Chain A
Amino acid sequence: MAKNINSSVLNLKPINKISFKQRMLSYKRKPLSFLLLIIVGLAAFLSAAALIFLMVYILVKGIPNLTPELFAWEYNSENVSCMPSIINTLIITCLTLAIAVPFGVGAAIYLAEYAKKGNKLVKVIRTMAETLSGIPSIVYGLFGMMFFVTALHWNMSLLAGSFTLAIMVLPTIMRTTEESLLTVPDSYREGSFGLGAGKLRTIVKIILPSSMPGILAGIILAIGRIVGETAALIYTSGSATGTATNVMDSGRTLAIHMYVLANEGLYTNQAWGTAVVLLVLVFGINTLSAFIAKKLGSKKG
């Protein structure tokens, strides 16, 4: 019996389903609406197409150049290995995050949880953060060169580069973290305070876990900027070809490596290969971060 009903339901023709004919008819009545559909459809298609074209172009040009020599441990002008740059990139990324995340998250916690609403200082900090995130990165690079490299005598080093990048990504991390803290419902805070939990415990145990996905999104954005940055690094961490053995060494990141190769014009093929590596690296970091975000998200239940 039940089976019969099911099959008869399947055979029914739903009247609420808009057929192609009906849709065309409605567009005929409103041609402007049809025009809009075409424009937005085209916009979506072209945006996706541009991205896909770029990716495919890089992959087609780059993959044939992915030779084993490109991943040799030592760089020389024969193999133009990008291995040292990969390692430098990872070091700079970790170092920059180690500096920027505590300050950025800390500042955001102050702004969202401690500062009184309408506080003048808060407004000043917010405006400054917004301004800073709009400044071209070469300005950070020049500042880094004047301050860290020259004034502090750090010379061109991974440390100088990391500090420069840390200042650059600080506003990003701060703003995304603050936004994410502000979306935590006040009822969580009330609930926690109502149980006699202090401010510290409320922030650490209730508010930060709930806003973790947003904070991680900010960190992923920051990683993207760090890995892709050239202008801020070229005069701070420099473009030495070797693997840095300590943070006071100069060393080039992948993006700078690529910039130099393309600039010299002698190793265009290897530059394409490096582009593929950079693409894969960024993709890998994003996937990993998303995975961590998901893990943290599921842990909190």
Chain B
Amino acid sequence: MDKFQIQSMNLHYGKFHALKNINLNMQKNKITAFIGPSGCGKSTLLKSLNRMNDLVEGCKITGSLKLDGEDIYGNMDVNVLRKRVGMVFQKANPFPMSVYDNIAFGPRTHGVKNKKQLDEIVEQTLKDAAIWDELKDRLKKSALGLSGGQQQRLCIARALAVKPEVLLMDEATSALDPISTGKIEELCMKLKNEYTIIMVTHNMQQALRVSDYTAFFLLGEMIEYNDTDTIFSSPKEQKTEEYITGRFG
């Protein structure tokens, strides 16, 4: 089943044509990876899916983007959209408050006030993000004191706490060491039973290890989109082959 349907989408930053005629459907409960060299538009596309590009001045989008058949840029409330489509950023960005308050921020935003219910959500999401054992004794401590890998997993937990349907990951492991990266990759594989995950990555091995589908972007165009095994074993386009074999990019 298609979670996202993107049709003839174009995106301009001012005069710069950042995404050119993108047509892409992404499946539910799968991991889709966007790969491509820096500046190819993959992060831009990702951010269009929960309208984070709205914050960028001069960003103009045309075409149609649908979530479960519903127009993302239509009448849908943007805060509801962002609740349904959560995001994890390249650089871990915990708020300057306690671990507990970081996780509880989302649910509180969406109206959960009951202390007991919040406690449960915090515990459950930290368990889901496989970081409960490390953090259960320091829930009241500042999140800024955690290590980089812990902070990023905390941010994943924070995104999960609002019970999204989709998780967008924008190079979420690029600043982490291999062990933390491994933990987050494992986590993604576990989470895809319940969530649809779309990740941007510079790490081809990661795309190969984790994702079910891969889309390759170059200079604002989507060159090829297929299941990951096909892309990496027998790409149809020459440019894709050149990129994944490391001849450029």
Interface size on A, residues (CB 8 A): 22
A194 touches B97 (CB 8 A): no
Interface size on B, residues (CB 8 A): 32
Q: CA separation between A202 and B226, bound complex, in Å? A: 39
Q: CA separation between A158 and B190, bound complex, in Å? A: 67
Chain A residues, Cβ within 8 Å of B50: 194
A116, A194, A196: most-surrounded residue (chain B CB, <10 A): A194
Among B86, B97, B143, contact of A195 (Cβ-Cβ < 8 Å): B86
Chain B residues, Cβ within 8 Å of A197: 79, 105-106, 109
A195 touches B109 (CB 8 A): yes
Q: CA separation between A195 and B106, bound complex, in Å? A: 6
B79 touches A190 (CB 8 A): no
A187 nearest CB across to chain B (Å): 4
Indicate whether B96 reaches chain A with its CB closer than 8 angstroms.
Answer: yes
A187 touches B89 (CB 8 A): yes
Q: CA separation between A201 and B95, bound complex, in Å? A: 13
Indicate whether A182 reaches chain B with its CB closer than 8 angstroms.
Answer: no
When A194-B159, A209-B96 are in contact, do A301 and B142 touch as well, CB less than 8 Å? yes
Q: CA separation between A29 and B83, bound complex, in Å? A: 67
Among B57, B93, B95, B158, contact of A117 (Cβ-Cβ < 8 Å): B57
A194 touches B87 (CB 8 A): yes
A301 closest partner in B (C-beta): B142
20 contacts between A and B (CB under 8 A): A116-B57, A187-B89, A188-B96, A190-B52, A191-B93, A194-B86, A194-B87, A195-B105, A195-B158, A195-B162, A196-B79, A196-B81, A196-B110, A196-B162, A209-B96, A300-B96, A300-B97, A301-B98, A301-B101, A301-B144
A-B CB proximity, top 4 nearest? A196-B83, A187-B93, A301-B142, A196-B82
